[in-house]
Structure 1
């Protein structure tokens, strides 16, 4: 079989172009420019701004991320592992749960180290995160298209200023379609 001499070079050129494209994508985080941004929403309640987003959307799996940011310096949030009623009634856990067409597919984790504090009148140490924002992630599994609700809980406190009113099961609505998830009202 006779192969024209230019055929080999054009194949090399095509491979080089493909490699260059792959390298450019990898340098930009591996995502093509046309990829839609992750759905995101936020709200502020009782001294904390919560930003919620959906990432790694590859049905039937995804990741929910919630960033809890106290509005004032010197405020901390409580550990995700804190009991629902706190320790001796002190504190409320930082929480994120899902209902509807989304199911938790793992444990809620936080990207912050837990430390303990002593609270006057409380015998046991209380687990908290360092002052400032805390990012949590929850792997989720999709059970089909439809409505989902993300339920958020938290409380923030300061050694000098005291505590804000805890937030429990604060709903954020999510609509899931073939095009992906979108935050909004039902």
Structure 2
């Protein structure tokens, strides 16, 4: 009879792995850290950028060039589907003959606008069936807008965003009006609440 080639698994390996894990966690705790997955979710987090998607458009917001209580708020409006455009910031609040809604960003609270909302895209006019007046829109795809702002003091502020996206072939999404996004202004400048 030949000796068996089967060997029993070592019981030392699982014990060593468990001991190593315990030592790593103890060292992390001693340094004031926390293991991944155990982050303290009760602490408020803030960020200089945030985004949300609503009614066919993703809006990415950021704060830049902050100095001496002044800076720039940027909003990039990106239609989710190809072939969709956004309307001019100069469109009347109720559109033209009820068609369209302006791309808009306003601030309130401790933030104040230092000028007008501007867009980094050329406006073009389109004809809409049943509407006598041409409608001003941006080319299909994303539109970047900027708003210069200043802070009167530390405290809370709110951005109010509006937009609608349309396609000449597929129609329009439901307009968004006065969609709030909250910020907290400190000595370091404005920061968005983490989503």
Would you call these one fold, judging by a TM-score over 0.5? yes
Displacement of 1:178 after TM fit?
1.4
Structure with bigger gyration radius: 2
Which aligned runs of 4 or more in structure 1 are off by greater than 4 angstroms?
A: none
Structure 2: how far apart are the matches of 1:80 and 1:96? 9
Structure 2: how far apart are the matches of 1:177 and 1:156? 34
Q: Name the TM-score, length of structure 2 as normaliser.
A: 0.74
Structure 2: how far apart are the matches of 1:50 and 1:73? 16
Q: Name the TM-score, length of structure 1 as normaliser.
A: 0.78
Structure 2: how far apart are the matches of 1:133 and 1:94? 12
Structure 1 stretch 45-54 or stretch 59-68: which is displaced more? 59-68
Whether 1:151 and 2:160 are equivalent positions in the alignment is yes
Structure 1 segments unaligned to the other structure (5+ residues): 1-37
Structure 2 segments unaligned to the other structure (5+ residues): 1-46
- The residue that corresponds to 2:182 in the other structure is 173
Question: SS in structure 2 opposite 1:160?
Answer: coil
Give the superposed CA RMSD: 1.0
Residue by residue over 1:19-59, the C-alpha shift from the partner in whole angstroms, topping out at 9 and shown as x without a partner, is xxxxxxxxxxxxxxxxxxx8100000000000000001013
Displacement of 1:61 after TM fit?
0.8
Q: How many residues align?
A: 148
Structure 2: how far apart are the matches of 1:180 and 1:123? 46
